[in-house]
Structures are given as C-alpha cells and as structure tokens.
Amino acid sequence: MIVRSKAPFRVSFGGGGTDMAPYCIEHGGCVISTTIDRHVYITLQPREDKKIKIFSQNLNDGMIFEIGDKNYEIGFELFKGVINILEICDGFNILTYSELPAGSGMGGSSSLSVALIGAFNYYYDLGLSKHKIAQKAYDIERIELKQKGGYQDQFAAAYGGFNFMEFRETVRVTPIKTSKEMINELQFRLILCYIGGSHFSSDIQDEVLMGYKIEKKSYMEAMQDLKDVAHEMRRIIETKDISQLNEFGKLIHKGWEAKKSLSTKITNKNIENFYLTSRKFGVFGGKLLGAGGGGHLLLFSDPSRKYKVIQELVKIGGKIVNFHFNPRGLEVWKL
C-alpha cells in the first residue's frame, strides 16, 4: 500500500510568540490563525529491506539511513525523529514535496511533521486523532529534536481552518464562528509578499526567551499586548460586521510593533523598507510571518488601493504569493 498525505501552511494574525513554553505554561498564551491552500506532501511507500530512503523534490536531495538512527545533526532530522518516536520497524521510501520554500515563516516544518505522522498513522492504523498527531509532532520537534518554537504550527496544520488556539498545560483549539462574507472580505484585503532574507528562528527565539527568564518588564507587557490583540481580533471576526475589518488591520500593526520589541533580530532594514512602503501606499497593518528575520509579509490593505500596493512591492523586489484560505487540515489517502 502506498500512502500519500498533505498538511497545510498557516498564517498567524495575532498572538504569535505567546504559544512558547515556559511562558504559555505559566501565563497562558493564545493565537488566532488560519491555514491556506499551500501544502507539504508526503508519499510513503514500503521497502523490502529495513532502511529508510528520503528524497526531497524541492531540495533535489535525499539520504538513506537505518531504522533507529538518532544522529540528528546531518539533515532530515524530522524524518528520523518521527520514525524513532513512532517506533517504526519497517523500511520505507519517503518522498516529500512542499508548495512553499523552507524558512517561509509559515510553519512548514511542522506541516511536514504532521503530514508524516499522519501518513504512518494511516498506514499502521494507529488510531491517532488530529489532536494527538499535533501533540506528537510538537513533542518530536521540541523535545526529541530540541528545536525551539511554540505550539501553534503543529495544531494549525493538523486541524486546519480559522481557529482561536489557547495554550497552557494543554492546547485548546476553537474554530472561529463567523460568516462567509466576513472571511471572503478579509481574504480580499490581505496580501502575502515574499521578501526573501534569512529566517533563523532559533537564534531569535533564544533572545526572546532570555527576556522571559530575566522577567523583563517590557517583555511581559509586549506578550500581554500580543494576547490582547488576538482576543480583539477574534471579537471582530465573530461580530460578522465587515465595517469593523479596518480595525482588524490596525490590530495586525499593533501586534507587529509589540513583537518587534521582543528581539533586535526580528526585523531589519530590508523588512522595514517593505513594510513602510506598503504602509505608504494603503496598508493598515501587517507583520512578518514566523519568528522573524525574513520570509513572508502578511499585509492588510485598503481594498481600493490593493493593486497599487502590490505594484509598489513588486517594484522593490517583492514576490506576491496568491493564496486562498483552506478550511481543511491534515488529509491522508492511499493510492
């Protein structure tokens, strides 16, 4: 049996950063996000021997390793982590393909983890729910592989859709209740722009966590602002009142200002050039997706000036990524 799976990328509107331990465990965190129609795909094909052969179409690269290999320093560590934690004992060819580049700031590595766990869950009939798949993906990335980051990406990829997620000792995922008209209008006003640059989330998160460890007052205030923004965004979307959407855009800006205060590495001259240019031509608010440093800008535009904003971003080297919201999370099927 050949199994194929896909898990979506996510865009986070507000609250990102408050989903990181130990902050969220001790103070609670929350994020409002949605998934989009860009995915990571996994194809799982059994082998006759006991080896794992990985091939990434995007990287045009791969490797073969023995089951039980825990050398996570030489690449493709997510695959090794999943296979070790799930205690996979059979050999497989695993093919992966991503519709967005690595380091996009949109949770791609977690989408990969979720898609891979989902494929094995289907193949072996493990009976894991989407919530348990997301939790396993988190445990593999953060505990087994010791990769820094929060909880939101794994749960967004597994569940899919427009959600308000709360983080403490456990994770609670609540679908946003609103109208099709509100969602359609929000989507129309958004622009996703790839600006390039390096995306070293681990370095940034080290600095962010240091602010928490020393109980820096400005850090705690910024984190509270991020949570307040997420709650207010949820309120606006659930009113189903499109006339309030401009306030949603302004809240994205407020959240971006709060997030930038957490680390000197979150933004740089290139990012600020793109953002200030977009603001000049009709953007109410925006943010860099992910930890910072590079990747994609999510921008909320005046609908009457959207095309002008896009023109100006392209002029200075931006690449516009057309997308639609995707209500589905992890999907798995056999061939």
Distance, CA of 298 to CA of 285 (rounded, Å): 9
Identity of the residue numbered 241: D
Range list of H helices, 192-244: 201-213, 217-239
Higher pLDDT, 267 or 32: 32
Distance, CA of 100 to CA of 74 (rounded, Å): 23
The pLDDT of residue 200 is: 55
Q: What is the pLDDT of residues 139-192, one digit of tens each?
A: 999 999 998 889 999 999 999 999 999 999 999 999 999 999 999 999 999 999
Spell out where the chain has E strands. Answer: 3-14, 29-46, 51-56, 61-66, 92-98, 163-167, 171-175, 190-196, 283-288, 295-301, 319-320, 331-334
Distance, CA of 195 to CA of 329 (rounded, Å): 26
pLDDT band, very low/low/confident/very high, at 262 (cuts 50, 70, 90): confident
- Would 3-177+326-334 and 180-320 be classified into the same CATH topology? no
What CATH number was assigned to the domain covering residues 3-177+326-334? 3.30.230.10
DSSP 176: -
Whose CA is closest to 272, among 294, 255, 242, 290?
Answer: 294
- Token pair of 24, please? 């969220």
The pLDDT of residue 218 is: 84
What CATH number was assigned to the domain covering residues 180-320? 3.30.70.890
Distance, CA of 153 to CA of 157 (rounded, Å): 6
pTM higher than the cut 0.75: yes
The pLDDT of residue 114 is: 98
| Sequence ranges of the domains in the chain | 3-177+326-334, 180-320
Q: What is the pLDDT of residues 85-138, one digit of tens each?
A: 999 999 999 999 999 987 778 889 999 999 999 999 999 999 999 999 999 999
Max Cα–Cα distance, the chain, nearest Å: 61
User: DSSP for 107-124?
Assistant: -HHHHHHHHHHHHHHHHH
Q: What is the pLDDT of residues 285-334, one digit of tens each?
A: 999 998 777 889 999 999 999 999 999 999 999 999 999 999 999 999 99
Q: Give me the percent of the chain exceeding a pLDDT of 70.
A: 96
Among 19, 69, 153, 225, the active-site one is: 153
User: Is 206 one of the catalytic residues?
Assistant: no
Distance, CA of 112 to CA of 324 (rounded, Å): 20
The overall average pLDDT reported for the chain is 93
